[in-house]
Amino acid sequence: MHEDPPEFDDVDDGAEQAEAGDPVPSNYRCGFAAIVGRPNVGKSTLLNALLHRKVSIVSPKPQTTRHRILGILTRPEEQIIFVDTPGIHSSARRAMNRHMNRAALSSLADADINLFVVESLSWSEEDQRVLDALKQQKRPIILVLSKVDKVQPRERMLPFIQEMNRRAEFVEVVPLSALKKSNLEQLPSIIAKHLPLSPPHFPPDQVTDRSPEFQAAEIVREKLTLRLRQELPYGLTVALEQFKEEDGRLLVNAVIWVERTGQKAIVIGQGGEQLKEVGRSARIEMSNLFGRPVHLELWVKVKENWSDSEMALKQLGYEM
Ligand SMILES: Nc1nc2c(ncn2[C@@H]2O[C@H](COP(=O)(O)OP(=O)(O)OP(=O)(O)O)[C@@H](O)[C@H]2O)c(=O)[nH]1
């Protein structure tokens, strides 16, 4: 069972937003904060909660995020460019998994500060591997202990925090729940202290570097991932064939690429029900995001072993 995604309607956290045209103060700070950790610890949920906007898709299945995604938070005194990264994982046998690890590792090397996300009360060899990679970078690390809403009673956190502090020197340890939006408010100010003095890199109203087309494809992939069981989500990807506006509506055609014919039948479902339901929920989310009606057509096609072919990955839009 998965938890309901948090809502992002006009949340007011009391922080003022910067406006276009405001003069930039000389003590303005701007830089990159990478969000790193093993798969499924809640990195994308954290990014979305910090931005009050969904810029990165979320599912209960590990390895949902496949790309490096920027989420931009602009405030009167700082612009924090968050980098959501794929979960770093040890079994990187397929080309897709190697691409994901590369994307994550290059992000933490480029960041001014790293947010190391660890699920509260849960420590594994995979977490240790991420920490080892982080330590090599010699950048400040904020330890984010995610999903504290699942910890009862809260006192159980204390020995865990002590244990974590023995593993590395963190500039701050922040236990929080991105899902319940608790203890998030202080994080941007803590991060900002470690960013260089610099004018903003992006206009104040820009929230992500990702195009509307990318976001539309990701929405379809999220709905599929939420509905499909077991391994199948890892064997599919979504590519847009059409994304255009006509008479005030958005016309979107997307192809769902799977690796085998048998998978095609599973995605479509009995009597086409599954695909219809995916299309319905994706269309509703796209209409909300783009603020206009959406006509969405989905096609399912087979490209054998696309996830283990560097060439197919490139053709399907994965940066190599
Ligand atoms: N209870 C609880 N669940 C959370 C919280 N944050 C995230 N989750 C859940 O954890 C699961 C994984 O969340 P994601 O944000 O996709 O995790 P991720 O680290 O980006 O995952 P990858 O894409 O695999 O790297 C989802 O089912 C989320 O709803 C939280 O604060 N509390």
Does a structural domain hold residue 279?
yes
Domain that holds residue 299: 212-315
List Cβ<8 Å contacts ≥24 apart for 306-310: 306/237, 306/257, 306/259, 307/94, 307/95, 307/96, 307/234, 307/235, 307/237, 307/259, 308/94, 308/95, 308/96, 309/95, 310/95
The residue contributing the CA closest to ligand 1 atom 32 is: 147
Whether 52 lines ligand 1, by a CB cut-off of 6 Å, is no
Same domain (yes/no): 153, 234: no
Confidence of residue 66 (pLDDT cuts 50, 70, 90): confident
State the pLDDT at residue 14. 42
| Binding-site sequence positions for GTP | 37-44, 84-88, 146-149
CATH number at residue 150: 3.40.50.300
**Percentage of the chain with pLDDT > 70?**
90
pLDDT reading at 85 higher than 50: yes
Whether 320 is in a domain gets the answer no
**Averaged pLDDT, 137-157:** 95
Ligand 1 centroid from CA 40, angstroms: 5
Query: Which of 142, 160, 192 is where one domain is finished?
Result: 192
- Please give the share of the chain, as a percent, with pLDDT higher than 90: 63
Cβ contact 221:57 at 8 Å: yes
Q: Which of 279, 140, 144, 289 is nearest to 208 (CA)?
A: 289
In the reported structure, the alpha carbon of residue 236 is separated from the centroid of ligand 1 by a whole-number distance in angstroms of 20
Confidence at 4, pLDDT banded by 50, 70, 90: very low
Binding residues: 37-44, 84-88, 146-149
Could you identify the atom of ligand 1 that is nearest to the CA of residue 47?
15
CA nearest ligand 1 atom 9, residue: 42
Output the pLDDT for position 9.
44
164 in the same domain as 216: no
Quick: pLDDT tens for 218-255.
999 999 988 887 667 677 889 999 999 999 999 999 99
Q: What is the pTM of this model?
A: 0.85
- CATH no. for residue 245? 3.30.300.20
Say yes or no: 186 and 220 in one domain. no
The verdict on 41 and 155 lying in the same domain is yes
Strands 249-258 and 237-246, by their bridges, are antiparallel
Asked whether residue 204 is assigned to any structural domain, the reply reads no
Whether 60 is in the pocket of ligand 1, judged by its Cβ within 6 Å, is yes
**72: β partners:** 81
The answer to whether the CB of 38 falls within 8 A of the CB of 126 is yes
Q: Among 45, 82, 145, say which to mutate for ligand 1: greatest number of ligand atoms within 8 Å of CB.
A: 45
Residue 15 lies in a domain: no
Please indicate, yes or no, whether residues 233 and 275 belong to a single structural domain of this protein: yes
Q: What is the mean pLDDT of residues 166-175?
A: 97
Is 225's C-beta closer than 6 angstroms to any atom of ligand 1? no
For ligand 1, is residue 45 a contact (CB within 6 Å)?
yes
Q: Is 199 a member of any domain?
A: no
Number of domains present in the structure of the chain: 2
Rounded to the nearest integer, the mean pLDDT of the chain is 87
Q: Please work out whether the CB of residue 188 comes within 6 Å of at least one atom of ligand 1.
A: no
Q: How far is the CA of 209 from the centre of ligand 1 (A)?
A: 22
Q: For residues 99 and 293, which has the higher predicted lDDT (pLDDT)?
A: 293
Residue 11 lies in a domain: no
Name residues whose C-beta falls within 8 Å of residue 33's C-beta, 6 or more positions apart in sequence: 80, 81, 82, 83, 111, 112, 113, 114, 115, 191, 195
